[in-house]
């Protein structure tokens, strides 16, 4: 049965023949549609262009424009052993994007070197990237052997030189193959011009690659892409949609959503345009409905309760490589994307920087420049879910986005325990043990005609002003037919102050406040809460505790908003009715139609 699929990536310096090799391989194994080559040859003749096998991939790209399935970066072909998905990466960024976005979780790489030109910077860099992405199966192709008269001596020279580099980075290639893409020597057939070489052809080497522990045998991981609601009147179910990155799952399985730790069991496995299924496995996109409704959001990860659990942390030790034009620098904010999650991150420390070409190590670098690799510590705004071993590499690889562009990527090597991750653990175990009643948040929302919402008011204005403003807002919302409830952090403090056992530190006080907000929001109310001088960090903790998206956080002050603030500025000197209006404009309080 031809069910096994292996993802392969072709990398190497510009013009060393990656596309020609892929084109030639497709042609020689008969993976191209009938007449494709003739058509292209005629086209080249008419346009007075020399025929190039690389054009075959461009021709396939045209096909995609017409809505057919193949695209330039990805092409499929099969041998008697299995199916292959080949990714021909035109440049660094595409290579990186494809690997990290999961378009190609490459299991093996072919690195192409022009025999005449020899090893170039990008040859070394690409090899280095492979180690950072944990791609261990490497085949080196020494191409354009025709240009050097199929010389064994030159082949060995390239091989020896490159082996020295690879040895230093701990990458041991399976084989070096001398090839000529243009003539098809050692591509799909053994070359008669290089009888000195007794090893495998590209095709044979492909089939000899090891299929790593199939992703479906690894622990189940499904990053949530989206949540859909059934549109049917009485159907309260929600569908949690996403692509399974590893493992498999069955109807009836107990699941936990990370990082919140909310538990439920799988009721149905929906699939698009198909009948209901009883199981789903790695590589497939699916939608799950659950017996007990839980609040989950994009970026969270569904795992199986009985399997190995992923890690959750907010201070990460990573190895990354940088491609951005602007150097990576400590203190600067980048978005970190892993799976479907996205969170702000700051570089806390650059531990060391490595020049990926010369392998020179800089222990005291103050920034990471394009084409350098580095070991860094990243501090995240919110904890994320990841795996360092065992599960799919997709749960370990990340990219960093500088403004709008992917500027770097790498893998998570480990984490450092911090306050946020300890709290996240605490909230998670609270959620795992929480016993809920039978009324869902949707049912509550319908009766109250509102969805739960947290309105936070903080800042450096006087406490009295904040309190007055919150109470006015509560009243205004109430008069509009909502169910709001005002609570000040001071109330919480006074509630617990006299208990002998309670150690009343400001930190404890804040945590009690976070717990209370979680309970109050569960009741479906709109909570108007005040607290002094909350920081972005505090806001992250409130989000972790309440696991809510419905939070609007205001900063009431007569000075300007602190730099990088996550809050919405309210000028406390504005007349109170204007201030109230301004605040209400920023609130997105959804009503639930009856």
Nearer to Mg ion, 19 or 260 (CB): 19
Question: Which residue do the tokens 């292209």 mark?
Answer: 40
By CB under 6 A, tell whether 58 contacts ligand GTP: no
The only residue of 18, 126, 420, 428 in contact with ligand GTP, by rule CB under 6 A: 18
Q: Report in angstroms how near the CB of residue 188 gets to ligand GTP at its nearest.
A: 14
Q: What's the farthest any 2 CA atoms get from each other in the chain? A: 93
C-beta separation of 348 from 378 below 8 A: yes
Q: Report in angstroms how near the CB of residue 43 gets to ligand GTP at its nearest.
A: 16
What whole-number distance in Å separates Cα of residue 552 and Cα of residue 563? 18
User: Residue 49 burial by CB count (10 A; 0-12/13-18/19+): exposed, middle or buried?
Assistant: exposed
Q: Identify what 453 binds: Mg ion, ligand GTP, none; CB under 5 to 8 Å per kind.
A: none
Collect all residues with Cβ–Cβ distance below 8 Å to 30 and sequence separation of at least 6.
none
**SS3 state of residue 538:** helix
Nearer to ligand GTP, 144 or 337 (CB): 144
**Segment interacting with ligand GTP, rule: CB under 6 A, options 73-81, 179-187, 256-264, 270-278:** 179-187
Pattern 141-160, ligand GTP, x by CB under 6 A: --xx-xx-------------
What does the buried/exposed string (b/e) look like for 120-135 if buried means 16 or more CB atoms within 10 Å of the residue's CB?
bebbbbbbbbbbbbeb
Q: Around 373, how many Cα atoms within 13 Å sit in the side-chain half-sphere?
A: 24
Nearer to Mg ion, 18 or 453 (CB): 18
CA distances from 330 to 35, 348, 376, 401, 572 (A): 56, 6, 9, 15, 34
Q: Report in angstroms how near the CB of residue 144 gets to ligand GTP at its nearest.
A: 4
By CB under 6 A, tell whether 16 contacts ligand GTP: yes
Q: Report in angstroms how near the CB of residue 90 gets to ligand GTP at its nearest.
A: 5
Q: Identify what 157 binds: Mg ion, ligand GTP, none; CB under 5 to 8 Å per kind.
A: none
C-beta separation of 341 from 385 below 8 A: yes
Nearer to ligand GTP, 185 or 566 (CB): 185
Q: Report in angstroms how near the CB of residue 11 gets to ligand GTP at its nearest.
A: 9
Rg (CA), the chain: 29
Residue 448: φ, ψ to 5°? -85, -10
Nearest to 418 by CA among 314, 317, 343: 314
Q: Report in angstroms how near the CB of residue 256 gets to ligand GTP at its nearest.
A: 44
By CB under 6 A, tell whether 14 contacts ligand GTP: yes
The only residue of 54, 99, 133, 456 in contact with ligand GTP, by rule CB under 6 A: 54
Collect all residues with Cβ–Cβ distance below 8 Å to 68 and sequence separation of at least 6.
none
Nearer to Mg ion, 60 or 455 (CB): 60
Q: Identify what 543 binds: Mg ion, ligand GTP, none; CB under 5 to 8 Å per kind.
A: none
By CB under 5 A, tell whether 19 contacts Mg ion: yes
* 147, β-bridge pairs: none
Nearest to 312 by CA among 195, 164, 215, 418: 418
Tell which positions 69-128 bind ligand GTP, by CB under 6 A. Answer: 90
Nearer to Mg ion, 141 or 257 (CB): 141
The CB-nearest residue to Mg ion is 19
Nearer to ligand GTP, 141 or 290 (CB): 141
By CB under 5 A, tell whether 20 contacts Mg ion: no
Q: Report in angstroms how near the CB of residue 146 gets to ligand GTP at its nearest.
A: 5
What does the buried/exposed string (b/e) look like for 349-369 if buried means 16 or more CB atoms within 10 Å of the residue's CB?
ebeebbbbbeeeeeeebebbb
The only residue of 29, 51, 52, 449 in contact with ligand GTP, by rule CB under 6 A: 52
Q: Report in angstroms how near the CB of residue 201 gets to ligand GTP at its nearest.
A: 14
**Segment interacting with Mg ion, rule: CB under 5 A, options 19-27, 71-79, 216-224, 528-536:** 19-27
What whole-number distance in Å separates Cα of residue 8 and Cα of residue 494? 63
Q: Which two tokens stand for residue 509?
A: 């006080």
Nearer to ligand GTP, 54 or 529 (CB): 54
Q: Report in angstroms how near the CB of residue 357 gets to ligand GTP at its nearest.
A: 17
What whole-number distance in Å separates Cα of residue 406 and Cα of residue 26? 31
C-beta separation of 398 from 318 below 8 A: yes
Q: Identify what 463 binds: ligand GTP, Mg ion, none; CB under 5 to 8 Å per kind.
A: none
The only residue of 9, 11, 17, 242 in contact with ligand GTP, by rule CB under 6 A: 17
Residue 297: φ, ψ to 5°? -140, 165
Nearer to Mg ion, 88 or 300 (CB): 88
The only residue of 26, 40, 132, 180 in contact with ligand GTP, by rule CB under 6 A: 180
Nearer to ligand GTP, 146 or 460 (CB): 146
C-beta separation of 339 from 287 below 8 A: no
The residues binding ligand GTP (CB under 6 A) are 12, 14-20, 52, 54, 90, 143-144, 146-147, 180-182
The residues binding Mg ion (CB under 5 A) are 18-19
């Amino acid at each position: 049965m031809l069910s096994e699929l292996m993802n392969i990536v072709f990398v190497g310096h510009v013009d060393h023949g990656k596309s020609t090799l892929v084109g030639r391989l497709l042609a020689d194994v008969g993976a191209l549609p009938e007449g494709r080559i003739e058509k292209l040859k005629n086209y080249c003749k008419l346009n007075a262009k020399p025929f190039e096998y690389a054009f075959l991939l461009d021709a396939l790209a045209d096909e995609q424009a017409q809505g057919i399935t193949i695209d330039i970066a990805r092409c499929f072909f099969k041998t008697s052993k299995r199916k292959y998905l080949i990714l021909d990466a035109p440049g660094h960024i595409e290579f990186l994007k494809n690997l990290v976005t999961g378009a190609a979780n490459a299991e093996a790489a072919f690195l192409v070197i022009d025999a005449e030109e020899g090893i170039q910077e990008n040859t070394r860099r690409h090899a280095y990237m492979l180690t950072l992405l944990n791609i261990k199966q490497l085949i080196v192709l020494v191409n354009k052997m025709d240009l050097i008269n199929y010389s064994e001596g030159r082949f060995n020279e390239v091989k020896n030189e490159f082996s020295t580099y690879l040895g230093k980075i701990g990458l041991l290639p399976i084989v070096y193959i001398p090839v000529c893409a243009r003539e098809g020597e050692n591509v799909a057939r053994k070359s008669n011009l290089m009888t000195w070489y007794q090893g495998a052809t590209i095709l044979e080497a492909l089939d000899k690659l090891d299929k790593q522990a199939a992703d479906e045998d690894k622990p189940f991981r499904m990053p949530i892409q989206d949540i859909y609601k059934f549109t049917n009147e009485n159907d309260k179910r929600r569908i949690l949609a996403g692509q399974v990155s590893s493992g498999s799952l069955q109807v009836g399985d107990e699941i936990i959503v990370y990082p919140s730790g909310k538990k439920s069991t799988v009721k149905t496995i929906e699939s698009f345009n198909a009948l209901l299924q009883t199981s789903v496995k790695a590589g497939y996109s699916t939608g799950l409905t659950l017996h007990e409704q839980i609040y989950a959001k994009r970026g969270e990860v569904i795992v199986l309760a009985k399997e190995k659990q992923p890690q959750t942390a907010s201070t990460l030790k990573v190895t990354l490589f940088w491609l951005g034009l602007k150097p990576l620098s400590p203190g600067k904010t980048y978005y970190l994307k892993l799976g479907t999650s996205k969170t702000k991150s700051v570089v806390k420390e650059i531990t060391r920087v490595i020049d990926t070409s010369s392998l020179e190590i800089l222990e005291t670098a103050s920034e990471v420049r394009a084409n350098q690799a580095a070991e860094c510590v990243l501090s995240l705004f919110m904890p994320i879910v990841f795996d360092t071993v065992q599960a799919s590499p997709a749960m370990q690889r990340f990219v960093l986005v500088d403004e709008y562009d992917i500027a770097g990527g790498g893998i998570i090597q480990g984490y450092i325990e911090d306050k946020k991750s300890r709290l996240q653990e605490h909230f998670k175990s609270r959620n795992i043990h929480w016993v809920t009643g039978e009324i869902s948040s949707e049912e509550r929302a319908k009766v109250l005609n509102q969805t739960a919402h947290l309105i936070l008011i903080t800042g450096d204005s006087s406490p009295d002003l904040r309190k007055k403003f919150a109470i006015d807002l509560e009243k205004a919302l109430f008069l509009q037919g909502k169910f709001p409830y005002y609570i000040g952090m001071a109330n919480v403090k006074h509630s617990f102050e006299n208990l002998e056992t309670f150690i009343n530190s400001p930190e404890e006080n804040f945590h009690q406040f976070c717990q209370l907000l979680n309970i109050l929001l569960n009741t479906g109310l709109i909570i108007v809460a005040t607290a002094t001088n909350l920081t972005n960090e505090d806001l992250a903790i409130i989000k972790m505790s309440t696991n809510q998206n419905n939070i609007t956080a205001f900063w009431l002050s007569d000075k300007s908003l602190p730099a990088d603030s996550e809050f919405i500025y309210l000028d406390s000197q504005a007349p109170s009715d204007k201030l109230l209006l301004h605040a209400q404009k920023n609130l997105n309080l959804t009503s639930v139609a009856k």
